[in-house]
Amino acid sequence: MTEQSDTPPDGPSRDSAAGAGPEQQQDDSPLAWHLRDAEEALAKLGASDPELAGTLARLLSTVATEAGRTPRFARALGKALVPPGPGTAPRPAERPRRSSRRAPGVIDPFAVFAEGDEAGLRSRLGELSLEQLRDIISEHGMDHDRLAMKWKAPERVIDRIVERVQSRTAKGAAFRGRPEHATPRHDEAGGPTAETSPQ
């Protein structure tokens, strides 16, 4: 009663996919149209490349069988085949975040130190959170031994910042030939005077 002689051996059966019953009623379903289109496309491809057509037919058959057998696979397959809407497109610019990239420090410790002294710098640093102190450490490259960024006590981080600021300021003053917080520039021997030693 049903005509199945024209169905390719690798392709799905139109009648079996549409279900038992009169073919004329089932041929109007969207599934029947898709099956017919796929069958015609595979037949055309098979005329020029039978091996590829057979491979595609087996692939489609395997995917359809697994989707029919496993609901979870069918749902995942459905989501993968539906293009994302305009509101669901990922925004890659917001995702990547480098752990080494921190915010700039809220204060410049060198400027604060130059305007006052160690006590003034410690006072300003004491007002900051641990993360803000770490921002300063990172911005000015003060974690040379890779320990300061791991410290949990803000006091230790403050000590590191003050120590680094004092050290770099003293070196910079020596290069410039006029030490900070000192009235005479050099003694007769050409070195810094004793008044610059507290730093």
Per residue in 92-136, pLDDT tens? 444 444 455 788 999 999 999 999 899 999 999 999 999 999 999
Angle, CA of 141, 143 and 146, to the nearest 5°: 140
pTM: 0.40
Cα-trace Rg, the chain:
38
pLDDT the model gives residue 84 = 66
Same-domain status, 74 and 113: no
Residue 46 lies in a domain: yes
Residues 116 and 73 occupy one common structural domain: no
Same domain, yes or no, for 115 and 174?
yes
Residues 113 and 152 in one domain: yes
**How many structural domains are present in the chain?**
2
Please state, as a whole number, how many other Cβ atoms lie within 10 Å of the Cβ of residue 14: 20
Per the domain annotation, does 188 fall within a domain?
no
The residues, any chain, with a CB within 8 Å of residue 23's CB and separated by 6 or more, are: 2, 3, 14, 15
Does the residue 90 lie in any domain? no
- Most confidently modeled range among 91-105, 131-145, 173-187: 131-145
- Considering the domain architecture, whether residues 75 and 113 belong to the same structural domain is answered as no
12-22: pLDDT as tens digits:
444 444 444 44
Give residue 160's domain range: 109-179
Structure tokens at 194: 């004793």
Q: Are 121 and 164 within one domain?
A: yes
Question: Do residues 137 and 160 make contact, with C-beta atoms less than 8 angstroms apart?
Answer: yes
Does residue 156 register a pLDDT over 50? yes
Same domain, 65 and 20: yes
Helices (H), ranges, the chain: 14-18, 23-26, 30-48, 50-69, 71-81, 109-115, 118-126, 130-139, 154-176
pLDDT computed for residue 35 by the predictor: 81
Residue 187 lies in a domain: no
What pLDDT shows up at residue 85?
A: 64
Contacts of 72 (CB under 8 A, 6+ apart): none
Is residue 100 one of the residues assigned to a domain?
A: no
Is the pLDDT confidence value at 144 over 70?
yes
Q: Is 45 within the bounds of a domain? A: yes
pLDDT range class, residue 56, cuts 50, 70, 90: confident
Is 31 within a domain? yes
The residue-averaged pLDDT of 3-14 equals 46
Tell me: do 116 and 153 sit in the same domain. yes
Assess if residue 128 is contained within a domain.
yes
Spatial distance between the Cα atoms of 129 and 117, rounded to a whole number of angstroms: 21
